[in-house]
């Protein structure tokens, strides 16, 4: 939760008029994380003093898998689940285990058509092979877009570049994508 990229993005979202709630889930268990995301979302929807028109859920690495899984579950349960999913450094496969990508992409492929998904991945991310992710997008029903961070690692850092410069570039793409939901 306190990755500098996430803190930077949260500040950028807030300064551009978006309400952003950050929370963390300890542990790597995907089922646990999806339940935690669901509980937070249900709590937000229950607040009577807060009107939420558009919900975009997202995460970084395993958190983006949990966001995609929850968006898929909600789309199965409701006609108005969430509008978008932000996947920062989606872990399509463990390092050097590209064969796992089929299992990890199932929730993505089952996301419904009106939903929009933005992937932000580094071209040097050892957990997200570029060709495999691009192939996965071709199999998705949901509208999807990838921003490839040139030279970016799984941690969205780039050798030879200042972190602030990289974060500004990433944040700019996220804000541009999210602007469709801003009134």
Give the span between the Cα atoms of 37 and 25, in whole angstroms: 9
The pLDDT profile of the chain, 183 residues, written as one tens digit per residue, is 577 888 999 999 999 988 888 877 777 788 888 988 888 888 888 887 877 778 899 999 999 999 999 999 988 887 667 899 999 999 999 999 998 898 899 999 999 988 999 999 999 999 999 999 999 999 999 999 999 999 999 999 999 999 999 999 999 999 999 998 876
Write down the residue that tokens 């804000």 correspond to.
Answer: 175
Give the span between the Cα atoms of 16 and 11, in whole angstroms: 9
Phi, psi of 82 (to 5 degrees): -130, 160
Give the span between the Cα atoms of 144 and 151, in whole angstroms: 21
pLDDT attached to residue 1: 58
Strand locations in the chain, DSSP E? 56-60, 84-88, 116-122, 143-149
pLDDT attached to residue 183: 61
* Paired strand residues for 121: 148
pLDDT attached to residue 43: 85
pLDDT attached to residue 153: 97
């Amino acid at each position: 939760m306190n990755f500098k990229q996430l803190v930077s993005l949260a500040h950028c979202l807030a300064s551009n008029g978006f309400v952003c709630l950050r929370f963390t889930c300890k542990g790597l268990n995907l089922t646990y994380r999806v339940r935690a995301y669901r509980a937070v979302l249900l709590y937000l929807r229950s607040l009577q003093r807060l009107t939420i028109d558009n919900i975009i859920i997202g995460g970084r690495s395993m958190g983006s898998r949990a966001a995609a899984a929850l968006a898929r579950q909600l789309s199965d349960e409701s006609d108005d689940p969430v509008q978008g999913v932000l996947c920062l450094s989606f872990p399509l496969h463990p390092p050097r285990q590209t064969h796992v990508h089929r299992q990890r992409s199932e929730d993505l492929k089952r996301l419904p058509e009106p939903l929009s998904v933005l992937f932000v991945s580094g071209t040097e991310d050892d957990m997200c092979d570029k060709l495999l992710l691009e192939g996965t997008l071709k199999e998705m029903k949901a509208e999807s877009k990838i921003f490839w961070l040139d030279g970016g690692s799984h941690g969205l850092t780039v050798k030879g570049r200042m972190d602030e410069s990289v974060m500004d570039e990433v944040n700019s793409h996220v804000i541009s994508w999210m602007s469709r939901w801003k009134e």
